[in-house]
């Protein structure tokens, strides 16, 4: 992907948000027969040399049938280190959308897989030097296990490959999420 295409994708963060919200909003027919899910949880990101131990995850899903749903996701992660007597804080935000496949929706313990595409925005604040922000294209395949704890509530764990691409350079991270997902009929 060349830098002009990446730049065009990164310019309209508001447009991305609107696009993902439209994708995650179910049609009237789907809303009548398949559940909407809302999930929240803790996330941690680990790049080769950088860890984001503090994070938040939120997702919204709309089912097409009992196995396939459209998903919109938001993530926030933060890392803070002290280097050379200066505090360095990096904050990462991502917004993505895509599909989720539930392999055995009627079981209490079930596996799922998903592929999401979106945008990631990172901001690094270095004490006394200011801040630098970057945006990148995001591809995030992953999967996990959900455990039904009550009729409409699931505990879930998820592991994803969090791949970002900016101006021809790519970076890979492993993302781990633990949370609760609620089905709204």
**Local mean pLDDT, 10-residue blocks, the chain (185 residues):** 43 50 46 76 88 93 91 94 81 95 86 96 83 92 94 94 90 95 90
Side-chain-side CA neighbours of residue 66 (13 Å) = 6
Domain residues for the domain of 82 are 3-184
pLDDT at 32: 43
Query: What backbone torsions phi and psi does residue 114 show, to the nearest 5 degrees?
Result: -150, 155
Integer Cα distance of 30 and 36 in angstroms = 9
pLDDT at 29: 40
| Tokens standing for residue 6 | 């990446």
Number of independent structural domains in the chain: 1
pLDDT at 51: 86
Q: Provide the angle, in degrees to the nearest 10, between the axes of the packed helices 3-11 and 13-24.
A: 70
Q: What is the mean pLDDT of the chain?
A: 83
Integer Cα distance of 143 and 112 in angstroms = 5
In the DSSP assignment, the letter for residue 14 is: H
Query: Which CATH number belongs to the domain containing residue 180 in this structure?
Result: 2.40.160.20
C-alpha distances in angstroms, 158 versus 16, 155, 162? Answer: 24, 10, 12
Side-chain-side CA neighbours of residue 51 (13 Å) = 5
> What confidence tens digit (pLDDT) does each residue in 65-88 have?
888 999 999 999 998 888 777 888
C-alpha distances in angstroms, 159 versus 71, 114, 183? Answer: 16, 10, 21
Integer Cα distance of 12 and 123 in angstroms = 17
């Amino acid at each position: 992907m060349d830098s002009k295409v990446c730049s065009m994708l990164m310019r309209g963060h508001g447009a991305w948000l609107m696009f993902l919200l439209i994708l995650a909003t179910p049609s009237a027919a789907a809303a009548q027969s398949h559940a909407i899910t809302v999930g929240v949880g803790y996330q941690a990101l680990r790049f080769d040399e950088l860890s984001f131990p503090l994070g938040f995850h939120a997702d919204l899903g709309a089912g097409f049938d009992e196995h396939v749903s459209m998903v919109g996701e938001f993530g926030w992660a933060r890392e803070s280190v002290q280097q050379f007597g200066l505090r360095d804080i990096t904050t990462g935000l991502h917004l993505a959308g895509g599909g989720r496949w539930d392999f055995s929706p009627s079981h209490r313990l079930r596996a799922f897989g998903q592929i999401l595409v979106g945008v990631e925005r990172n901001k690094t604040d270095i004490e006394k030097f200011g801040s630098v922000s970057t945006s990148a294209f995001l591809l995030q395949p992953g999967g996990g296990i959900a455990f039904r704890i009550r009729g409409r509530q699931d505990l879930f764990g998820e592991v994803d490959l969090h791949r970002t691409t900016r101006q021809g350079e790519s970076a890979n991270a492993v993302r781990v999420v633990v949370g609760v997902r609620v089905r709204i009929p």
